[in-house]
Amino acid sequence: MERQQLSDQFKAIYHQEPDLVVKSPGRINIIGEHTDYNEGFVLPTAIDKAIYVALGKRDDQEIHLYAADFKESYHTDLQSLAPTDKGWPNYILGVVNQLLERGLPLTGFNLFIDGDVPLGAGLSSSAAVECAVGYGLNNLYDLGLDRVEIAKIGQLAEHTYAGVKCGIMDQFASILSKAGNVVKLDCRDLSYTYVPLELGDYEVVLLNTNVKHSLASSAYNDRRQSCETAVALIQEKYPEVNSLRDVTMEMLLELVKPVNEDSFNKGKFVIEENERLNKACDALIAGDIPALGEQLFLAHDALSNEYEVSCKELDFLVDQAKKKDEVVGARMMGGGFGGCTINIVKKGYGKQWADELAPLYQEAFDLELTPIFVKTDNGSELVY
């Protein structure tokens, strides 16, 4: 988005120039789904689609928000912060609430938000909003927060104001990514390394199902509860176990499978997904992109059959990918029940393939199929 355009839109609403503008990107995740809240590993990177936030200080305690996507405004003040039924302001207000809880000095402010992260595509527009707001307010008020702390603030904002008990991956990727790399993040201790994303003759193509099933957020919390149940059952014999990260397949078979088949399946998925991620990293380091793709196909089968977070539209697209030699890997990406598939495709073939798929997809589901071509990008940055 153009800097001048953002500034002009802010000025048209608030009759002042913004003090600063920040951008925070959406993300893709190569592999490692639903592992983050189980203290496992994830492999995300930021993309060249971002949320932009323009900010200007006020000389009172009022907060004025405007979302370009919804053409809606929202007003409150620092003393009256609370979640709202309107939805979108919660991702902003939740961040403000976290800053206030830390005793950090804020005044009222004006905020304008826009972006080109496709909503509902599983590219984590919500985390991009949280990180853009956190990064912007940190710079506006010189709060001295580091990037990891801003990621944690974004995660807690989503827990408390949006009501989704998300893991840390999306916020971490949005603020700490480095162009040309994926972040191998250990969600237990937040240690991380950058792994070069060098795909050679291949590229990443996203296919947006343009569907978002309504059960997504409640089902997400249900899956999290199933994992916690598995851990609780194992802790009765192994009190040193803190999360599924500490759990072996033998423990699951002995203590969970006989009493709770659902928690067994969810736990099995998480353990094996961490193993798939490590194999994917090995493949990237070795430059073996077909081996990377194979782990994506395996991950999708498990996400669909064991973790049960896929849907017929996503399964259809992955099944079609398996028929093409030019597509070496594909899986659903994100929380599930809609959004995108991520595909590792021969360079230059993505558009042709999407054009071939679109009528098949339209016929099957009466929905448009939207390809999204992305590049890696850096995490949160000041635009000016």
CA distance 365 to 209: 10
Annotated catalytic residue, options 36, 114, 170, 377: 170
Q: What letter would DSSP give residue 330?
A: E
> How, if at all, do strands 72-77 and 381-382 pair?
unpaired
Could you confirm whether 170 is annotated as catalytic? yes
Is 77 strand, coil or helix? strand
CA distance 143 to 137: 8
Rounded to 10 deg, the angle between the 147-157 and 169-176 helix axes is 140
Query: What is the residue-wise DSSP string for 270-319?
Result: HHHHHHHHHHHHHHHHHT-HHHHHHHHHHHHHHHHHTS----HHHHHHHH
- Please state, in angstroms and as integers, the Cα–Cα distance from residue 132 to each residue in 51, 140, 255, following that order: 7, 12, 43
Across the beta sheet with 41-42, the strand order is: 41-42, 181-186, 192-196
Do the beta carbons of residue 31 and residue 331 sit within 8 Å?
yes
Phi-psi label, residue 329: left if phi above 0, alpha if psi -120 to 50, beta otherwise: beta
CA distance 154 to 78: 18
Determine whether 12 is exposed, middle or buried from the number of CB atoms within 10 Å of its CB (0-12, 13-18, 19+): exposed
CA distance 145 to 361: 46
How is residue 138 written in tokens? 């940190």
83-104 exposure pattern, b = at least 16 Cβ within 10 A, e = fewer: eeeeebbbbbbbbbbbbeeeeb
Known catalytic residues are 170
